[in-house]
Amino acid sequence: MTKCLPKKIKTFSEQNIQTTDKDYNHFVELTKNLHYVKKIETDEEPTKQEIVSNLKKGFEEMALIKKGKLKTTSLNDFLNEL
């Protein structure tokens, strides 16, 4: 008679953490070094500097489009790509 051994089952757990930003950032840095942590999702918001930079780039692109130096896509072509 042979024994039937149970198959090794991998289980995954999802955790939600509520803490201060300072403690959360520290926690994320610590968990990045754990070999068994595969993915860390954060709700990081862009900094004020990143927002201003993105806006400047957008305005520069608009100016180039108005001057005819940057090609655009029509709304219909854009929607058809979706």
Q: pLDDT band at 71, cuts 50/70/90? A: confident
pLDDT in tens, 1-60: 455 555 555 666 777 777 777 787 788 788 878 877 776 666 677 788 989 999 999 999
Confidence (pLDDT) at 53? 92
Those residues with Cβ within 8 angstroms of residue 72's Cβ, 6 or more apart along the chain or in another chain: 65
Regarding pTM above 0.95, the answer is: no
Confidence (pLDDT) at 21? 75
Contact assessment for residue 28 and residue 19, using Cβ atoms and an 8 Å cutoff:
no
Burial of 24 (0-12, 13-18, 19+ CB in 10 A): middle
> When comparing pLDDT for 68 and 13, which is higher?
68
DSSP one-letter code for 72? -
